[in-house]
Each structure stands twice: as structure tokens, then as C-alpha cells.
Structure 1
Amino acid sequence: MVLPLGAFPAAARAKVDFVLTDVDDTLTLHGRLPAIAYAAMERLTAAGIAVVPITGRSAGWCDLMARLWPVAGVIGEGGAFYFTLDAAAGKIRRRYWKQDAAERAADRAKLALLAEEIPRLVPGSAVAADQFCREVDLAIDFREDVAPLPWEAVDRIVALFEAAGATAKYSTAHVNGWFGAFDKLAMTRVFFAEHFGLDLDAAADRIAYIGDSPNDVPMFGRFPNAVGVANIDFFGDRLTVKPAYVTRAEGGEGFAELAEALLAARR
């Protein structure tokens, strides 16, 4: 049973030192990043609560977020890498799940074939507009810049990825496919160990995760302080694991609602 955010105990909220967040339809609202969500990230960071976006979006997007946003780092392309900013040096550190550049290039060649095959076999789908700045995965658009496709088409895209030996996850806009045994949770473990020097499991009660879609399921299942924004209802029973709590508001406004709840508990 998913409880309203108000049921998140104040004592548990006061322990939270890390906010891990999906981006699309969790930080954003109707496709845009609202000022209230950005301000919430700033307020959390100023209070000593580290914010880490964890997204299926591209390396290009993640480079910008790591450089310009008030965040501790960014995990992107579904867990393919994390980027952090060395503020003193003004440089981005890039850490990939597959650290061999030749192996990543070989994976991209296989994905290039799927980029031709999948749109041909699933009419109405298309390679995502931000594919040009992706390094590890292939994103197939089913409702962002194309007319929304039925769930049967989404399932077909997933099946085509899996038939080729790839992993596939979907969100509100894209099906993302890649070669490799990683996901959002796996790279979060690496990030916490290497960047914060912490074991993720040992720190679980210090973490709040907020998201909205099926690619967040591994995170919902791991963290007791998992939160969904109100628009999580979009996926219905397709969410095989649900968060403990849900906000009243959708998207970035729901993220701001969580941020205020955490800050209030500290006050």
C-alpha cells in the first residue's frame, strides 16, 4: 500500500542526507524544469543534503546537469555512468560502468543496427531526438516527439531489444536499451562507494529516492524511504514494485513537496 507523503515519519525524514531523483516527470513538469524544483535542489544542497539525479537521459544532458545544477553528481543513461564536477579544477569526472572504450564502441555498433531495425518493426516509433549525444544506450521514442503509442508497441520494443541480447527499460517517453549488467541501482552502488565512500545498503535509511516510472522499480524496491510523485498513477499495474509514499503534486512540484518535508523535519 502506497501511503501519502504526510505519513513519512518526521524522525525518518530528519535522518535523510541524500536525495536521489529521477529527472523526466519527477524533476520536470509537463516537459519543463519548473523553478520550484530547481530551487528545491538548491535548498537541499544548502542544507547539506546531497542531490543526485539518476536518469535515462543522455550523456550530453548529464554533462550539463553535473556542471550547472546544484547536485553532487549525475547518473545517466540508465546507470551506464556517473559524472561529477571537480569544482576546484572546473572539470568533469566521467566514470563508466564499462571502462573499456573499445568495448563501448563495439556495443554502439550493435545498437546502431537496432536503431534501424526497431523503428522499422514498430511503426510510429523513432530513435530519440537526443540520441546524437548518447554514449552507451539507444533510446527509442514512443511518446515524446512522436504520437503516443499503445503499451503493446512499448512491449514490442522491449522484446526486440531483449531478443538481441540487450537490457531494456522504459520511462514515460522512451524505451532505453543497452548491453551490460547495469541499471540505476547498480551504478548508484558504485557512485556511493567511490564518491561518498559509503556502502549503499548501510546508508539506506539516510537516502530518499523519488521517481515515477518502471525504470525506477529497482530503486523503489531497495529504499524504504522511496517516494513517487503523483503522476506515478500513469503506469498503473506496470509498476511491479511501488514506493512507500506518494506526493500530492505531480512532477517537479511533487519533488519540491518532498524537499520541503525533509527540510521541515530538520528544522
Structure 2
Amino acid sequence: MFFRYDHEARRMHRRYWKTADRRAADRVKLDRLAREIPAVVPGAAVAADQPYREEDLAIDFAEDVPRLSDEDIARIVAMFEAAGAVAKVSSIHVNGWFGDFDKLSMTRRAMAEFFDRDIDAVRDDIVFAGDSPNDAPMFGFFPNAVGVANVRDFAGRLPAEPTWITQGRGAAGFQELAEALLAARE
């Protein structure tokens, strides 16, 4: 899913991977998991930003709750997968959804639909920044992929690694990248 506001037309464009009916059916299953996972995995919680998510369920394991063990995180992933969902670990959440899409497939669609760009033709011109395993498809596709330092927490467990890693973690790493890009323009 992605949104883009068209200032000229004064209209928000929304694109979804699935139909409205399919999203509604999947939401029923995700809502069930939102009740079941915290009941089975002590300390896990539905993410605070869940009301703003349309296609996934985010289970918090380190943002607003004390960090859970790797074993508990694996249990959350297993519960999503047992329900037939895709599950990806980020630095703070396990995100689960139904469907065969990821950040790269939606980025590919956004670039084609909104920017009339073939992502394969411009991939060398794009810098992607991420911080966790759910960014691996982007790390593997973009030669100029940057991971903020906390991506090192997943060393050896990513299907694709970023080309560069910042010194700073989280927002400090993103700031470091932004400053490097601005300095390179001068």
C-alpha cells in the first residue's frame, strides 16, 4: 500500500496490493492474531501505531515494552506463519500480513505508477535506508542501500545486507546518512 498526494488535483491517491474485500477478510484474521499473540507471548503488545495500519499487524517487542527474548520473537513469527501470514522482524516489531508483497514490490509499483520510472533502470540513482530484516528485499536490490547501525543486530540473519552501515543507530543513523548526502552535493 502507498499513498501519494497530488497537489495539482488536490487529491490523495491510494494504492493497495489487494482488493477491498480481500483486505477486509484479512483484517478479520489479523484482528484475531492481535488478540491471540499477546495472550500467548507475555510482554508482547499490539504496536501503538496499529490504528494507522491498513494491511498489516505490528506486534511490539521492543518499542513500548521491555525487549523480548529472541525465543519470544520467534514464537510471534511462528504464530503469524501458522495462521498463513508472512512475518518479518523489524528492530522493534514483528509485522505480519497476508499476501505476496513486500517493500520492494510496492516500491516498484509506486515508481511505475506515480513517477513513470522503471525501477530497474534507475536503481543505481536511488539511496535506500533501512534498519532491519524487513528491509532485506530493498538492501538486495539497491546497490546504494544503507543500513543504520542497529542492522548489525541481525548480522548473519539477513537474506541481503546493505552496502553501507552508518555509525549511528536509529534516527542518529538516518541523520548521519542525510548529512553525508547533503555534504556530497556540495
Q: Does the pair score TM above 0.5?
A: yes
- Say which of 10, 13, 16 aligns to 1:96: 16
SS in 1 for 2:49: helix
Counterpart in 1 of 2:80? 161
Q: Which piece of structure 1 moves more, 127-136 or 169-178?
A: 127-136
SS, match of residue 58 in structure 2: strand
| 1:250 Cα offset (Å) | 2.9
Matched residues in 2 for 1:202 and 1:142: separation? 38
3-state SS in 1 of match to 2:162? coil
Instruction: Say which of 92, 96, 103 aligns to 1:173.
Output: 92
Secondary structure, aligned partner of 1:154: helix
**Structure 2 counterpart SS, 1:129:** coil
2:66 counterpart residue number: 147
Q: Secondary structure at the match of 1:201?
A: helix
Amino acid at match of 1:157: I
Q: Which amino acid aligns with 1:163?
A: A
- Aligned mates of 1:253, 1:118 — CA distance in 2: 32
Matched, 1:108 2:27: yes
Q: Determine the C-alpha separation between the residues in 2 that align with 1:114 and 1:263.
A: 43
1:189 to 97, 108, 111: 108
Where 1:226 maps in the other structure, the secondary structure is strand
C-alpha distance in 2 between matches for 1:113 and 1:186: 27
Aligned length: 186
State the alpha-carbon separation in 2 of the partners of residues 146 and 264 from structure 1. 37
**How far off is 1:225 after superposition?**
0.8
TM-score, normalised relative to structure 1? 0.65
**Structure 1 CA distance, aligned partners of 2:128 and 2:84?**
29
> Which residue, 220, 225, 240 being the options, matches 2:139?
220
Q: RMSD in angstroms over aligned alpha carbons?
A: 1.6
| Residue ranges of structure 2 left out of the alignment (5+ in a row) | none
The answer (yes or no) to whether the contact 2:132–2:150 under 8 Å persists in 1 is no
Q: Per the alignment, in what secondary structure is the counterpart of residue 97 of structure 1?
A: coil
Q: Percent identity?
A: 62
> Following TM superposition, by how much is the alpha carbon of 1:208 offset from its aligned partner in structure 2, in angstroms?
0.9
Q: Deviations over 1:35-74 (max 9, x none)?
A: xxxxxxxxxxxxxxxxxxxxxxxxxxxxxxxxxxxxxxxx
TM-score of the superposed pair, with normalisation by structure 2: 0.92
- Between the two structures, name the one with larger relative contact order (CA 8 Å, sep ≥ 6): 1
Give the direction of change, closer, same or farther, for the CA distance of 1:264–1:131 in structure 2 (3 Å limit): closer
**After superposition, where does 1:60-75 map in structure 2 within 5 Å?**
none
